A and B are shown apart, each in its own frame.
Chain A
Amino acid sequence: MTDIAATAAPSTETATLPARLATGFVNRLVIIVPYLWLLFFFLVPFIIVFKISLSQTAISMPPYTPVLGFKDGISGFFAGVRELNFDNYTWLTQDALYFNAYVTSLVIAGISTILTLIVGYPIAYGMARAPATIRPTLLMLVILPFWTSFLIRVYAWIGILKPEGLLNQVLLATGLISQPLVILNTYTAIFIGIVYSYLPFMVLPLYSSLEKMDYSLIEAAQDLGCPPTGAFWKITFPLSLPGVVAGCLLVFIPAVGEFVIPDLLGGSQTLMIGKTLWNEFFSNRDWPVSSAVAVILLLVLTIPIMFFQQAQAKAQEQGR
């Protein structure tokens, strides 16, 4: 520490002011790059979507009334501001369809996340406790499905779950059932689809937090009189919580807005917000309303996560 300070101090003192400004600029430039990325590919599109959500539909190209432009100069811009209204947002509260879609999405995503956790935890635990030599192979197997298109993998589930599909054929052949099970086009199919598709996002963070854990902690717990199941709930699980939280967020957030899985496996009657959004956008061609739906979805997801992260940061400051 002192060595670095001792060698670095003279160089900054002797450096000329412009040279120092230049190094400062280069240092900042490195940080600026990711921020520019976020600005252009996240913030700007969001502002555009938000702007569209404040306009009205129109039969034109693009299909909404222009708002907030500088075509008529600054005065035109302020005139536009006065005309802004939240009609589309009010509309969302008036039609129960949207509210129901939000709630259904959150509930389906929540249940799917819990199911994914239940399926993923033992997998991650088994991987973390496997001999170190075969762990890379197991990790590879978890990632392997990503090498095939997501859409194809979801289509494959139609083949498995449909009434005359693989699953029913096997169950009928073994005599376990006499009537084919109706799974496709139900919520069960959506759960199966989400759990299957998002499993790696749950397993990987869980694995990384379980793998770091010192096994002698479990031995210590047992040595102090705690049977293995108790040791799991008192030691292993609490220590894997960061992995559990990360995995659940990685599954829950995309699952709320999921469109492909409910569309392909859930049939026409399932009401999820991702599908509603798609319908508004492409079938109704009501860009302003669908933009409003998207903005609300973003708020519903980000605000709780922000609070959560703040609480976590506070807990970290207090010493884990």
Chain B
Amino acid sequence: MKSLGSIRRDFSPWNDPNAKPYIQFDKVTKKFGDFTAVNNLSLTIFEREFFALLGASGCGKSTLLRMLAGFEEPSAGRILLDGQDLRGIPPYKRPVNMMFQSYALFPHMTVEKNIAFGLKQEGMPGPDIEKRVAEMLKLVKLEQFAKRKPHQLSGGQRQRVALARSVAKRPKVLLLDEPLGALDKKLREETQFELMDLQQELGLTFVVVTHDQEEAMTMADRIAIMDKGEVMQVATPAEIYEAPASRFVAHFVGNVNMFEGKVAEHMTSTTRITGATGAQIVVDNGSNAAAGSDIVFAIRPEKIKVSSKKPADAVNALEGEVYDVAYLGDMTVYHIKLDDGQMVRASALNASRITEDPLTWNDRAWVSFRPDAGVVLTR
């Protein structure tokens, strides 16, 4: 069975035409004075989905989250949660909870009281609160810190308290604003997996805002790439990476080589592309572009093979010179300057300790790739 990317996904309600959307942004626009933070945006999120909003700062992703939480009202459009229009419902009456980027723990309350705060507002009876708080403390492994105040905790512990507090009420949706932004790299990686486990365990719908693509790729079922208040693409991490919908998305996530060119001709199952600098490329997924139209061929560095001799069976092989080499341990990155002037970035996994065909600066080299290694982008 073939699949895009390396993971087979059993959870994919977005491919099911009968699946009921859980959160729906319907033509939502948000303006702050003259500035349009979110522009006519439509988006659907499904129940139990781990959804990531990914974009650079100022792209409107946080505004989207704040509108869902009720801190901002859309200037136009509707937001539906489980079929209910959220317009006019204040934040304290919405069945969603948010984990703040700054954690926003109440400094004058103990860890215990912080977690119990939301439950008390709900009017939950005392013994039930105690039970739930104990459960939450166990979940985030902070049992022995129940009586501490936030300032007596480390950054990672505070993050867990914030998490426990926001899931204690069992919200329909948990909103996470840069949940791992304040943690150091190692702790961040550990916490990513913990968050995923937690989401599975509680069966909640998570909407996370992040600017860190690795974080989004690791955790999310689907990612929405945002730019200037608009959604550029909504897809699984593998689709985003392997089949980006536009130049922007291809550029935004990971490294990519772009060949400007025209569609020369459509053949039976393949398409021939003539690069702007003369390179001839044959691909098997170019049928979306009309013959003669301007396109961009995008290919990821790790899909390109570098060798000192022209590979005998290669459909696409281009000659050039090694311009730069970087040995990173787990892989080696080559910058090859093709004879037509185009610069190509290629990376090779160092799967064995000894390399048969070592290359160095200024060596002649061939870059080759399969017809299905890249994508043809029309926008």
Chain A residues within 8 Å of B, Cβ to Cβ: 214, 216-217, 219-228, 230, 234-235, 238-239, 319-320
Contact = CB atoms under 8 A, between A and B. Distances in A.
Given A225-B92, A319-B152, 15 more contacts: A217-B104, A217-B106, A219-B98, A219-B104, A220-B98, A220-B106, A223-B70, A223-B92, A224-B117, A225-B93, A226-B117, A227-B90, A230-B121, A238-B108, A320-B149
Contacts of A319: 148-149, 151-152
Contact of B69 (A223, A238, A320): A223
Report, as a range, how many residues of chain B touch the other chain: 20 to 34
B254 interface: no
A222 B169 CA distance: 13
Given A225-B118, A225-B121, A239 B100 contact: no
18 contacts: A214-B104, A217-B106, A219-B100, A220-B98, A220-B100, A220-B106, A221-B117, A222-B90, A223-B97, A223-B166, A224-B92, A224-B165, A224-B166, A225-B118, A228-B92, A230-B121, A319-B149, A319-B151
Q: Which 10 A-B pairs have the closest CB atoms?
A: A224-B118, A225-B121, A220-B104, A216-B104, A222-B91, A222-B92, A223-B98, A226-B121, A225-B92, A238-B108
B107 interface: yes
A225 B98 CA distance: 11
Contact of A224 (B71, B90, B102, B121): B121
Contacts of B91: 219, 222-223
Given A221-B117, A224-B97, A216 B108 contact: no
A226 B102 contact: no
- The secondary structure that dominates the A interface is helix
Contacts of A230: 121
B122 interface: yes
B97 A216 contact: no
Interface in B93-113: 93, 96-98, 100, 102, 104-108
Contacts of A238: 108
Contact of A216 (B93, B102, B149): B102
A225 B169 contact: yes
A162 B146 CA distance: 61
Nearest to A238: B108
A315 B259 CA distance: 67
A239 B104 contact: no
Contacts of B165: 224
B121 A235 contact: no
A217 B98 CA distance: 12
Contacts of B149: 319-320
A320 B121 contact: no
A315 to B, nearest CB: 11
A320 B149 CA distance: 8
A255 to B, nearest CB: 29
Contacts of B118: 224-225
Contacts of B108: 238-239, 320
A301 B90 CA distance: 47
B169 A214 contact: no
Interface in B164-214: 165-166, 169
A18 to B, nearest CB: 45
Interface in B72-96: 90-93, 96
Nearest to B118: A224
Contacts of B148: 319
A221 B105 CA distance: 9
A320 B109 CA distance: 9
Interface in B306-333: none
Contacts of B117: 221, 224, 226, 234
A262 B363 CA distance: 96
B139 to A, nearest CB: 17
Nearest to A227: B92
B144 to A, nearest CB: 16
Contacts of A219: 69, 71, 91, 98, 100, 104
Give the interface centre of A222, A230, A320 by most chain B CB atoms within 10 Å.
A222
B73 to A, nearest CB: 14
A13 B117 CA distance: 56
A91 B352 CA distance: 102
Contacts of A214: 102, 104
Contact of B106 (A222, A223, A225, A235): A235
Given A217-B104, A235-B106, A225 B122 contact: yes
Nearest to A231: B92
Contacts of A217: 104, 106-107
